Structure 1
Amino acid sequence: MSSTKFDVIVLGTGPGGYVAAIRASQLGLKVAVVEAEELGGICLNWGCIPTKALIKSAQVFEYINHAADYGISVDKASVNFEDMIKRSRDVAAGMSKGVQFLMKKNKIEQLLGWGKVKPGKKVEVEDKDGKKTEYSADHIIIATGGRSKELPALKIDNKKIVGYRKAMTLDKMPKKMVVVGSGAIGVEFAYVYRSIGVEVTIVEFLDRIVPNEDEEVSKTLEKLYKKKGIEIMTSAEVTQVDTKGSGCKVTVKTKGGEEVIECDLVLSAVGVVSNVENCGLEDVGILVDKGKIKVDEYYKTNMPGYYAIGDVVAGPALAHVASAEGIICVEKIAGQHPDPLDYNNIPGCTYCIPEIASVGYTEAKAKEAGYELKVGKFPFSASGKASAAGAKDGFVKLVFDAKYGELLGAHMIGSNVTEMIAEIVAIRKLETTGHELIKTVHPHPTMSEAIMEAAAAAYGEVIHL
């Protein structure tokens, strides 16, 4: 007979929820999780993990098509779209099973169904048959995540106008698609579909693609994407999509007037909204501001015993942020003294090819903040490892405070840079100076040498430029 009383109940098992649950269990608390869909949430099932599997398939196809560049002859490679999608789903299913194993290993009870918080530190769970069961806990953590944002002119019908979920499980490969939005989701899918032969147009409302990144990164990606044959429209807005015919007619308003693009499919990648509806917040009196649950630095809401983490609170909607918040939240609940999260030292990664990784201030934002700067840049075209790998596109750019040598920000575009950014996050956490970074011996030949060389470039000591 399962219990109805716990120390901690977590609503949602994405990378915020399941990580919080495991850490709470490690700290000796009796824990339950509530999940309406698959364990692992959007990240494991419909986001971070399956998209990376699709990107890898697209990259392998690209390698094969450019095999001659490496002295290898390959005849007539072709994409099996169904198998590519199947591999992505199998990878996601394997990861979800891994979370299932972790739940059992950590003796966490799984309550399957739709969860709603109720007053008096209670949670009501409605299963798929409509049966409702009430549970109680001293601490209830809301980690219900987010979903695709919908614009009035882009109503998702999952036939011709799709969000990211449908974009990774299409029945057949489109010939031509329009991607609306050029954040991580938009540029990643644009890469995947263009690489396997789809004609792709990106429409971005702001004046450059990946608009949250450093301006030089945006310019480099735009140049490389155009070289791949991706059409890019910036300072552009989709005003309507006519889906009446066999395909779509997308009306795009630009500074030069209106243009109609015909395509088979439109991907809406205009951001994420929090899942704060229909989970009982109003009944409990939990405050929501601009679609986000209000919390303090340890993720307490205004109501004692109720907490919120991940995409439902303010801050970057990133898996690793949700996990970090979950750990801090439960460590505080368990009576430990964790440091609050430093939101200015959160790495952001975009897994298009070439990859993008960044942390901290962009050069423009650092100037705005009043810092005097030393900026160093090292192109991968000057890297031996990059040349050997055939991956010479991109650069590492480091932004230092000229006065104290503090590393204010790092911006990278290139092969495997998402694996390199963690060094910068650690350096910033440890308050390492530019001079210390220059004197940190990096292995040769590696892509990571570019970090040391960019630091040296900022201080006029670069060797290989």
Structure 2
Amino acid sequence: MSSEQDYDVVVIGGGPGGYAAALYGASAGLTVALVEDGAVGGTCLNRGCIPAKALLQTAEVYRTADHAADFGVIADGASTFTVDWAKVSQRTNGIVDRLVGGLPGLTETGAVSVNGTVLRGGAVVIATGSVPRTLPGFEFEGELIVSSDHSTRSASLPERVAVVGGGVIGSEFASVFTDVGVHTTLLEAMPGGVLPVGPDPELADVLRRALVKRGTTIHAGAKVNPPEMSDGGIVLGFEANGASEKIEVDQVLVATGRRPVSADMGLTEAGIQVSDKGFIEVDKTTMATTRPGVYAVGDVVDTPGLAHVAYAEAIVAIKAILGEQPDPVDYARVPWIVYTHPEIAWAGYTEDAAKAAGYDIVVHKHKFAGNGRAMIIGDTDGMVKVVAQRDGPILGVHIVGPWASELIAEGYLAVNWQALPEEVGAFIHPHPSLSEAVGETMLALTGRALHG
């Protein structure tokens, strides 16, 4: 027996964009129904951002323990460490479960069952997210050919792995696998091999060299062939630098991006325009689709596939629903982070992009090698690089090194507010701290500096 229920907003999808819309709408006094066919939290919380970063933290702990003697900490007895991946998986799942368990309580007033019930909303927010892409011949079966969704929640670890794709996801997993002792081969179709699109190439090169130094084998410009099964595992052939090669591995992780979840939803029939690539078309000033009263946010929209961007888009959509005048997301200035070792983070123009846009620029860099806090924690690889318009505002801030993910907040604020270098250079940075590297770089852009 069916029934009908009315809400101010019906949100389809319980990932970052969806639950952010539900929470923000509820806090504004709207009645909200949140519809999710899996666990609340979506890919980011259940299979992506959170579990992946938990694995990266395990890798950091392992590196620290393995270099304890460098700090004068000597193990009593055996001085070697091993990784119990089953316990790593148990810890990761525990973190996810605690976070997922916290979300339904936050959205309880809007969470409803849709079986046999018709939900009507004054507005609808579509936040159905994305799923991993694959390649022809690399269909996922969860054990030998896997996606990042499989790897983040796996209770076992391969001895040899090929990571196909050197973007953010591929680079992060290559960093994890390498650090915990997996023989790792990274195959990327584009030049450079690591993060070919996005960050300043100079920063990507720091990461590439760091991965190679720690044991990652990287092949750039590699065209892979479908895998073949062998008695010893999986044989993966590829062409790179004009030569054909084959490697044998235990597992292939395909990290070639993600695709929006928009098929078989009747969107076109409902008057919602969808691109050839499956993205829902929206007015990015309000996140409104081509169907009045329907909005879309997150990975299902052709905008940066970042959880924090989905949060921001959800706020824009709810404000538009409320009849307010939201400030649209400035996608050219959003912060990006790659949680590898070393971490990479940036906001705004790269050096090359600023030149291509016609800016007359000045660039300054400050290496962590001269930073006191970096020396103390034993992590001096990397730099801060700032791009500014000559006699004008800061255009881009780029960081590779320890805790870049935390340091970028100041850089994003500077870029987003179009601050002048002397304004940021006037900030007093604690000493000793990693943030001093940001301050030193800003000071250098004023023509004066403290250290070199």
Give the shorter-chain TM-score range. Answer: over 0.9
Instruction: Tell me whether 1:319 sits opposite 2:321 in the alignment.
Output: no
Note if 1:103 corresponds to 2:104. no
Helix, strand or coil: the match of 1:409? strand
Once residues 464 and 154 of structure 1 are traced to their aligned partners in structure 2, the CA distance between those partners, rounded to angstroms, is: 52
**Residues 361-415 of structure 1: CA deviation (Å, up to 9, x unaligned):** 11011111111111010000010110111010100000001142x1111111111
CA distance in 2, matches of 1:164, 1:255: 27
CA pair 68-2 structure 1, distance change in 2 beyond 3 A: farther
Q: Which residue of 1 aligns with 2:139?
A: 155
Q: What does the per-residue CA deviation read over 1:133-179, in whole Å, with 9 as the maximum and x for residues that have no partner?
A: 32211101100000101111422221211001111233422111001
Deviation at 1:255, TM superposition (A): 2.3
TM-score, normalised by the number of residues in structure 1: 0.93
**8 A contact 2:3–2:116 mirrored in 1:** no
Q: Distance in 1 between matches of 2:81 and 2:112?
A: 45
SS in 1 for 2:161: strand
Q: Tell me, what secondary structure is at the counterpart of 2:35?
A: strand
Equivalent residue number for residue 300 of structure 1: 288
Of the structure 1 ranges 452-461 and 282-291, higher mean CA displacement relative to structure 2 is found in 452-461
> How far apart are 1:455 and its partner, in Å?
1.6
Distance in 2 (CA, whole Å) between partners of 1:314 and 1:396 is: 30
Deviations 1:413-451 (A, max 9, x none): 111010011111112222210111122221111101111
Task: Provide the residue aligned with 2:14 in structure 1.
Answer: 13
Matching residue of 2:397: 410
1:295 deviates by: 0.5
- Give 1:16-27 correspondences, 5 Å limit: 16-27=17-28
Gaps of 5+ in 2: none
Is the CA contact (8 Å cut-off) linking 1:376 and 1:456 kept in structure 2? Answer: no
Deviation at 1:3, TM superposition (A): 6.2
For 2:215, what is the secondary structure of its paired residue? coil
After TM superposition, list the pairs within 5 Å mapping 1:322-401 onto structure 2.
322-401=310-389
Question: In the alignment, is residue 430 of structure 1 matched against residue 434 of structure 2?
Answer: no
What amino acid is the match of 2:195?
Answer: V
1:143 to 106, 112, 127: 127
In structure 1, the partner of 2:433 is: 446
Cα deviation for residue 132 of structure 1 reads: 4.2
By how many angstroms is 1:292 displaced? Answer: 0.7
Please name the residue that 1:57 is paired with.
58
- Which residue in the other structure is 1:69 paired with? 70
Aligned partners of 1:355 and 1:418 also within 8 Å: yes
Query: Which one of 70, 82, 92 corresponds to residue 96 of structure 2?
Result: 92
Partner of 1:128: none
Deviation, 1:246, is: 4.3
**What is the distance in 1 between the residues matched to 2:55 and 2:317?**
33
Q: Secondary structure of the equivalent of 1:462?
A: coil
TM-score when scaled to structure 2? 0.95
CA contact (8 A) 1:35 1:110 kept: no
Give the superposition deviation at 1:57: 1.1
Which digits, 9 at most, give the CA deviation of each residue in 1:330-362, with x for residues without a partner? 011012221111111100001111111011111
Contact 1:376 1:459 in 2 (8 A): no
Q: Measure how far apart 1:222 and its partner are.
A: 0.8
Query: Which residue of structure 2 aligns with residue 120 of structure 1?
Result: none
The code of the aligned residue for 1:210 comes to L
Compared with structure 1, are the counterparts of its residues 135 and 348 closer, same or farther at alpha carbon in structure 2 (3 Å cutoff)?
same
How far has the Cα of 1:207 moved from its partner?
0.6
**Contact 2:319-2:325 at 8 Å conserved across structures:** yes
Q: Is the 8 A contact 1:153 1:240 kept in 2?
A: yes
Deviations 1:207-231 (A, max 9, x none): 1111221011111111111110100
Q: Distance in 1 between matches of 2:42 and 2:325?
A: 28
SS of the aligned residue for 2:262 comes to coil
Could you say what secondary structure the match of 1:411 adopts? strand
Aligned amino acid, residue 383 of structure 1: N
Of 166, 169, 190, the residue aligned with 1:185 is: 169
1:90-126 deviation per Cα after TM superposition (whole angstroms, max 9, x unaligned): 101111011112113xx22333xxxxxxxxxxxxx4x
Letter in 1 for 2:290: N
The structure 2 residue matched to 1:217, chosen from 191, 195, 203, is 203
Q: Which of 203, 206, 221 is residue 235 of structure 1 equivalent to?
A: 221
Consecutive unaligned residues in structure 1, runs of 5 or more: 112-124, 126-130
Aligned partners of 2:51 and 2:153 also within 8 Å? no
1:293 match: secondary structure: coil
Whole-angstrom distance in 2 between the partners of 1:166 and 1:314:
25
Compute the RMSD of aligned alpha carbons.
Answer: 1.5
Give the secondary structure class of the aligned counterpart of 1:399: strand
SS at match of 2:411: helix
CA distance in 1, matches of 2:216, 2:180: 12
Q: Which residue does 1:33 correspond to in 2?
A: 34
Number of residues of Structure 1 aligned to a counterpart in Structure 2: 444
Indicate the larger mover: 425-434 or 390-399.
425-434
Per-residue CA deviation, residues 263-304 of structure 1 (Å, 9 max, x unaligned), is 000100111100011222123121001321000020111111
User: Alpha carbons of 1:171 and 1:245: their partners in 2 closer, same or farther (altered >3 Å)?
Assistant: farther
Counterpart AA for 1:443: P
Paired with 2:313 and 2:294, the residues of 1 have a C-alpha distance of 14
Deviates more, 1:393-402 or 1:252-261: 252-261
Percent identity over paired residues: 37
